[in-house]
């Protein structure tokens, strides 16, 4: 086949001769371009490589935290009071989320969020990250995944659980959504519980997806478990009985404290009203306040045993010293101090048994103000409790040099100074622990405790006998009696302060005591605030709670009964079985 020659002469463009310099210029330009590209590549990859690496890391490399598991909080028997469980959190890249109203409405329903609120979170398309909801249930997270919405992602976090709920809320406290302690033990022991987060370096694409791991993995260090002195069974029972008493007496609030009389361990500390730590929406200060530690009151007649103990220790009186309380009234400094009845002549034991204000003030008059102040201070009044717990207050105890005679008299029966329920419970360790006030703790401890001696063992024994008389028939607190255990304690009823005076119809009712009386194992203090169902005396309102809590606590501790149970009661129990 013959090839045809091209008629170059027919085309003026092809017929014209190309200058040699033009072809050389083109070749030189191409070569120069390659040299420029090579130089730029050399500059980027060798000379300025660090800068571009940093820029790449800024855009695509991320350091992801690996959260540490927060330590558990357990009670003295190993039962869980607080623990952390994995919980997914929902986040989004707003610019990637399609504006499909039907799907967004479904998403809002699953997040339990109004649709307008969800739209507000997604309206800023410049954002590349926004939390939609933290710590949702696994079932909710699964349903959100099934929606298949573009731009919606999940991240694993940890959520705190509190099995004992509102019963132990004021002790355990709670954490915020970042798993940082906010109240109670969670706050106090934050550094022990929180642990140390780990980290890993990754490369992410524009969708936030991990493409590759780079660098070394730093493993997290989990938080330390914390074992409290609390007995969750005693705590629950105490809370339950306190709640019932507050409701039954139509009271404003109440508190109860249970101490181990030998070790100073806090076995229970409950307040009502309370709250559920995992559901804290619309909470009020009334629910959050740990009243047993934060609220102070004039303790009323629960101070009388301390007044008597001072005088016994100083040798001013003996248990059989007779005090004339007739005619049931006493004038001092323009004020009249009265008893509920004219008890006539009473022994010192009778002053406690009948709770005579006149008898107590006459005993106090045998003491110097400084002597009384020193004893109050040694017992912990006017001082913040040395307890690893937030919110504890010191109460009020004015310097003895400022006391007027009438103030010294009223302090003898619990007016003119203030204390928390916790302070009152701790001060009674002086009677239960052979005259020594012992330190208290929220942590489990098996160590022997050494206290601060305030009274002699003989004085402590004498006062315990008086407390037993006060809680027996003929005393002011017979409703404190329990089945199988001997008890001793003192009731108190105090008018509430309103402004500079006292409300005539508002009271706080107390009962503080211990059991068994010869070798005390527990100290229980109960306070009911503003009972308004017809009864307000501590012996009628607070003593029954004391009775039930003491009996259940001793039974759970395995303490053998020290009193014979009446046959008819045994028969009744057998019949019920």
Distance (Å, rounded) from C-alpha 504 to C-alpha 6?
127
What distance in Å separates the CA atoms of residue 37 and residue 30, rounded to the nearest whole number?
A: 11
Do strands 80-92 and 226-227 pair parallel, antiparallel, or not at all (unpaired)? Answer: unpaired
Yes or no: say if 317 and 429 are a contact pair by the CB < 8 Å rule.
no
The domain spans of the chain are 64-227, 232-575
The CATH superfamily label for domain 232-575 reads DD-peptidase/beta-lactamase superfamily (3.40.710.10)
pLDDT for res 279: 83
pLDDT of residue 453: 96
In this predicted structure, what is the pLDDT of residue 33?
A: 86
Q: What is the pLDDT of residue 206?
A: 60
pTM of the model: 0.82
Q: Mind listing the pLDDT tens digit of every residue in the chain (577 residues)?
A: 555 555 655 666 556 666 777 777 888 888 888 888 888 777 777 776 777 666 665 556 666 677 788 999 999 999 999 998 888 888 888 888 888 888 888 898 998 888 888 888 888 656 778 888 888 888 888 898 888 888 888 888 888 999 999 999 999 999 988 888 899 999 999 999 988 878 777 666 665 566 666 667 778 888 899 999 999 999 999 999 999 999 999 999 999 999 999 999 999 999 999 999 988 777 777 788 899 999 999 988 999 999 999 999 999 999 999 999 999 999 998 889 999 899 999 999 999 999 999 999 999 999 999 999 999 999 999 999 988 888 889 999 999 999 999 999 999 999 999 999 999 999 999 999 999 999 999 999 887 788 999 999 999 999 999 999 999 999 999 999 999 999 999 999 888 877 777 777 889 999 999 999 999 999 999 999 999 999 999 999 999 999 999 999 999 999 999 887 654 443 333 333 3
| pLDDT at 112 (0 to 100) | 87
Tokens of 77: 């028997």
Q: With contact defined as beta carbons under 8 Å apart, do 230 and 442 qualify?
A: yes
Q: Give me the catalytic one of 83, 89, 274, 301.
A: 301
The domain defined by 64-227 folds into Penicillin-binding protein 2a (Domain 2) (3.90.1310)
* Lookup: tokens for 89: 């959190």
CA pair distance 455, 467, nearest whole angstrom: 16
- Looking at residue 313, its pLDDT comes to 96
Q: Is 89 considered catalytic here? A: no
């Amino acid at each position: 086949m013959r090839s045809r020659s091209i008629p170059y002469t027919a085309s003026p463009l092809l017929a014209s001769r190309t200058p040699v310099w033009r072809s050389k210029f083109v070749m030189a330009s191409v070569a120069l371009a390659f040299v420029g590209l090579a130089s730029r590549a050399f500059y980027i990859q060798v000379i300025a490589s660090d800068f571009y690496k940093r820029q790449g890391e800024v855009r695509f490399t991320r350091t992801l935290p690996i959260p540490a598991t927060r330590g558990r909080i357990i009670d003295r028997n190993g039962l869980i009071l607080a623990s952390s469980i994995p919980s997914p959190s929902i986040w989004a890249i707003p610019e990637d989320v399609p504006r499909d109203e039907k799907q967004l409405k479904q998403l809002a329903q699953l997040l339990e969020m109004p649709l307008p609120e969800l739209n507000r979170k997604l309206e800023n398309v410049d954002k590349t990250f926004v939390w939609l909801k933290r710590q949702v249930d696994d079932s909710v997270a699964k349903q959100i995944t099934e929606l298949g919405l573009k731009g919606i992602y999940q991240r694993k976090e940890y959520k705190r659980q509190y099995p004992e709920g509102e019963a132990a809320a004021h002790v355990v406290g709670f954490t915020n959504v970042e798993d940082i302690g906010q109240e109670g033990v969670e706050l106090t022991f934050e550094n022990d519980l929180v642990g140390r987060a780990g980290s890993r370096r990754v490369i992410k694409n524009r969708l936030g997806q991990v493409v590759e791991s780079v660098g070394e993995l730093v493993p997290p260090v989990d938080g330390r478990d914390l074992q409290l002195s609390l007995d969750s069974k005693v705590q629950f029972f105490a809370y339950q009985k306190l709640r019932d008493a507050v409701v039954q007496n139509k009271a404003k609030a109440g508190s109860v404290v249970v101490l181990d009389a030998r070790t100073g361990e806090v076995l229970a500390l409950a307040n009502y009203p309370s709250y559920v730590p995992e559901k804290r929406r619309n909470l009020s200060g009334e629910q959050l306040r740990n009243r047993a530690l934060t609220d102070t009151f004039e303790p009323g007649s629960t101070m009388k045993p301390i007044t008597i103990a001072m005088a016994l220790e100083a040798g001013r009186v003996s248990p059989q010293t007779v005090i004339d309380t007739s005619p049931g009234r006493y004038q001092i400094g323009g004020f009249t101090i009265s008893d509920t009845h004219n008890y006539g002549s009473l022994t010192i034991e009778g002053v406690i048994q009948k709770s005579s204000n006149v008898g107590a003030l006459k005993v106090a008059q045998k003491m110097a103000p400084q002597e009384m102040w020193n004893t109050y201070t040694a017992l912990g009044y006017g001082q913040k409790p040395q307890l690893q717990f937030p919110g504890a207050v010191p109460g009020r105890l004015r310097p003895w040099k400022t006391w007027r005679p009438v103030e010294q008299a009223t302090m003898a029966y619990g007016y003119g100074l203030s204390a928390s329920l916790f302070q009152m419970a701790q001060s009674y360790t002086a009677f239960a622990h052979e005259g020594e006030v012992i330190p208290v703790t929220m942590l489990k401890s098996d160590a022997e405790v050494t206290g601060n001696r305030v009274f002699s063992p003989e004085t402590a024994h004498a006062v315990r006998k008086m407390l037993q008389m006060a809680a027996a028939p003929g005393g002011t607190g017979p409703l404190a009696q329990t089945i199988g255990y001997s008890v001793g304690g003192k009731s108190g009823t105090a008018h509430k302060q309103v402004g500079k005076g006292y409300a005539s119809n508002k009271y706080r009712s107390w009962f503080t005591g211990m059991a068994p009386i010869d070798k005390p194992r527990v100290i229980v203090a109960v306070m009911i605030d503003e009972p308004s169902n017809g009864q307000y005396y501590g012996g009628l309102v607070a003593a029954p709670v004391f009775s039930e809590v003491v009996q259940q606590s001793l039974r759970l501790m395995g303490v053998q009964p020290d009193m014979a149970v009446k046959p008819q009661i045994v028969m009744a129990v057998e019949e019920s079985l």
